[in-house]
Structure 1
């Protein structure tokens, strides 16, 4: 066995581009000192990162930091999909941040630098091949968000949200690290494949209490990151207190990172027979509680936050079928993994489109407001309202939201193929339950406006800028057309 570690710089190119973006943003802010130039550098870096991820992930992919056949960094089709998604989400959030940055209460250089740092963590996370790389990448993704949530000067709600997010994330990270340390103590390995092989080849290890504790701690820590029930309470308050573009990034990129990390350890390291029933129970609780509480929400961002909690349940559902699929053909398990990744990809794009519409309909530097503030918004802003309604129908899984409809069908099909018909039924019932608040909000957009002008809509000096409307339409178009009409490409990448 060779103990010489290989290094492939081409495999690392997407990470280089993302990290280089953060450095260039600092230099642009220092040397040029113009907000437009700083944002342009960050946007160009995000585009370059997405292109680099697509190029490196083409074909059979590449790997690096390999010792004796175990690699710490594996950049294949799925890693390319995840890296490109993080880059596109960063680009979308930058576009949505225009009104916030022009308001002058948020420093542009620091804002763009933190977003680029978070993007770097997301790109590396998708290719992580061992527990150390995975946890470090997840924290690189999450740490800048603590500051971004509280970066709005003079806002007590923003500061409270940042502290809440920080405390919960630190606890979750500590639990994950402790679980990883115990897994290393039990198996003697840190690479995901080596840990999984040790637990498979020596089934007696599964009866060791230390192994049970290790698996439970890893799942618990990552469940916090995904905001899965019962580890979800931090999410609504944090989203509602953060600036709207940051809340959009939290509900998409942060959740995507948690899902990718959880998927990596479940697929390669942890035994499906142990994790499957636990994840099935968590999925049922998450989608049910998220939908039921969302029905009672009167604030826009809190409704979207609870909606994202419910959507996390749909993402986790295919992983819950792994125990039943373990005795079936390998295709059933592969389909479950691909369905989870594909659903996550569709969800983050639709969620970003929904937040884009909220940003366009609210004053610069304002919070999401209440649902009543959006009454009649589609009558005042027809194109923005139509884009918002399209995103909501997509999240609900109804046509013409082709992406959301395909995503839910993919999940249900994976559950049926995996022998988890009861879980598919729970997903279907919850999807119907979710229609109530998605369609209620969509109908509210076209309802007759109240006598008083809705906040943020028609008062002088507070009209949403035309650029925000253009961004909304662009995001909605990408979601409805590019994603909805190319589902097989996403599934192919998710399964590699």
Structure 2
């Protein structure tokens, strides 16, 4: 019997726009060979992807459907994800523009790889089955291996790329093994079909292993652990600090935001409905506690700026995973309670992306073109020399810490704690609160260093550090301004974001 598969090209428009951007970047670099033109095409393509996603997301559509399962689901969820990845791409291009124009990094390859990664992120938000989900996640991640090592003549960059590649391959293998075992127990890979089969609502396919078989638990655990790598959750976190510190600063900014956001989207796609909460909830709760605790404790000892931000992002991943850890406790409760937990995780992820990108943009602005993040001591007094940039970095840091006037970060912490309390996980809310207090130490240490007196040399003059720079490039200044404004706006309009993240 023949099977007819439907294809809706309107649903695929955001993916077409993102993939078309990558193709146009290649053609522009080949035919014009001008760095400015290549950057302009990449930026325009990313903006076009955002606009197309906003238009396409106004109506729910599906494509690549067979019977009752669809592999691509376009709607509000996919539009939000596509917009975040498109704006991230624009921001990273702005941060990288001065180094690409002045340095040896090939602009064409850089922009092409970034556009390919954006394409994976756009498809990820609309994935309707495990194969599409994993392929999209790898399309998001694979270009980053090269981008991390694209800084020529840097041994640290090459080592970071190899570390990232090796650990990522292992995590991908674990994810694929989990998906394969899950297919063996259910006979399907479509997310819409997995939920009813695993909960006993519908029988598994003929020849499949019984759903209550221990193999199902193993499959779910492997799948969740493999996806947790993308958010740098413990114990799959060790790659993050070395990779971030060895990568060029704009790439580290994209890696710490896009990869983590992609991992959150993938986890939400599989734990919100398809996978049984009674099995994923305990795993995610343990991951959340271990991740936020290890990240905060190790961040206290860091002396390099990017490593501090890297370990901070590990801790932030724990806060994002915490609401998902209570899904098992809310399994018998109303759908509103469960939706609140999921919305809290996604809203926190979006706010983290904005604040983290603002922090990296400020570090890029304070460092010489093409330099790494330097040590925390290199930024001593930088807030005095660059008051606006220093203020933006402090705002991002206190936002990540969850303190006012960083209202976006404060709102994110409150939403997570409220979701945990509503879900009956008061002990987990207490762990989040304690870790938030621990995190204050290193965030405030970096903020205080920015306004500390500049050391004086023996000759009586000020010591010139790597944080000194007379002029901040316009693209970097624009990216820093826009991300800071976005953080401020989201801080004053938190309910709009929370409503937008209710899938």
Question: TM-score category by the smaller chain?
Answer: over 0.9
Q: Deviations over 1:240-293 (max 9, x none)?
A: 000000000000001111111111111132110011011101101100110111
Note the C-alpha offset of 1:2: 9.7
Contact 1:317 1:423 in 2 (8 A): yes
Note the C-alpha offset of 1:463: 5.0
Note the C-alpha offset of 1:205: 4.2
SS of 1:97's partner is helix
Contact 1:72 1:129 in 2 (8 A): yes
> Are 1:241 and 2:246 counterparts?
yes
Contact 2:130 2:190 in 1 (8 A): yes
**Aligned ranges 1:7-22 → 2 under 5 Å:** 7-22=7-22
Equivalent-residue separation in structure 2 for 1:184 and 1:122 (angstroms): 24
Equivalent-residue separation in structure 1 for 2:430 and 2:443 (angstroms): 20
Equivalent-residue separation in structure 1 for 2:48 and 2:453 (angstroms): 45
Note the C-alpha offset of 1:299: 0.3
> Are 1:488 and 2:490 counterparts?
no
**Aligned ranges 1:88-487 → 2 under 5 Å:** 88-201=87-200, 205=210, 207-451=212-456, 452-458=462-468, 463-481=471-489, 483-487=490-494
- Return closer, same or farther for 1:109/1:197 CA change in 2, 3 Å cut-off: same
Note the C-alpha offset of 1:319: 0.3
Note the C-alpha offset of 1:467: 4.0
Name which of structure 1's ranges 347-356 and 471-480 shifts more when overlaid on structure 2. 471-480
Note the C-alpha offset of 1:70: 1.2
SS of 2:72's partner is strand
Equivalent-residue separation in structure 1 for 2:163 and 2:257 (angstroms): 18
Contact 1:71 1:130 in 2 (8 A): yes
SS of 2:322's partner is helix
Contact 1:342 1:491 in 2 (8 A): yes
SS of 1:344's partner is helix
Note the C-alpha offset of 1:79: 1.5
- Return closer, same or farther for 1:466/1:21 CA change in 2, 3 Å cut-off: closer
Contact 1:350 1:394 in 2 (8 A): yes
Note the C-alpha offset of 1:377: 0.4
Q: Which residue of structure 2 lines up, in the alignment, with residue 36 of structure 1? A: 36
Note the C-alpha offset of 1:472: 1.4
Contact 2:186 2:211 in 1 (8 A): no
Note the C-alpha offset of 1:489: 2.5
Provide the aligned C-alpha RMSD in A: 1.6
Equivalent-residue separation in structure 2 for 1:102 and 1:72 (angstroms): 41
Contact 1:239 1:251 in 2 (8 A): yes
**Aligned ranges 1:38-117 → 2 under 5 Å:** 38-59=38-59, 61-117=60-116
Contact 1:150 1:242 in 2 (8 A): yes
The number of aligned residues is: 492
Contact 1:457 1:463 in 2 (8 A): no
Equivalent-residue separation in structure 2 for 1:237 and 1:388 (angstroms): 22
Gaps of 5+ in 1: none
Contact 1:284 1:313 in 2 (8 A): yes
Contact 1:179 1:218 in 2 (8 A): yes
Q: Deviations over 1:298-346 (max 9, x none)?
A: 0000000000000000000000000101111111111111111111000
Note the C-alpha offset of 1:454: 4.2
Q: Which residue of structure 2 lines up, in the alignment, with residue 27 of structure 1? A: 27
Name which of structure 1's ranges 18-27 and 417-426 shifts more when overlaid on structure 2. 417-426
Equivalent-residue separation in structure 1 for 2:467 and 2:160 (angstroms): 26
Contact 2:39 2:97 in 1 (8 A): no
- Return closer, same or farther for 1:404/1:454 CA change in 2, 3 Å cut-off: farther
| TM-score after normalising by structure 2 | 0.95
Q: Deviations over 1:8-45 (max 9, x none)?
A: 11111100000000000011111111111100100011
Note the C-alpha offset of 1:206: 5.0
Q: Deviations over 1:337-381 (max 9, x none)?
A: 111111100001100000000000011111100000001101000
Equivalent-residue separation in structure 1 for 2:73 and 2:492 (angstroms): 29
Contact 1:325 1:418 in 2 (8 A): yes
Equivalent-residue separation in structure 2 for 1:455 and 1:176 (angstroms): 45
Equivalent-residue separation in structure 2 for 1:468 and 1:10 (angstroms): 35
SS of 2:237's partner is coil
Equivalent-residue separation in structure 1 for 2:349 and 2:160 (angstroms): 25
Note the C-alpha offset of 1:83: 0.8
Equivalent-residue separation in structure 2 for 1:458 and 1:361 (angstroms): 7
Contact 1:456 1:463 in 2 (8 A): no
Note the C-alpha offset of 1:480: 1.2
Note the C-alpha offset of 1:492: 2.1
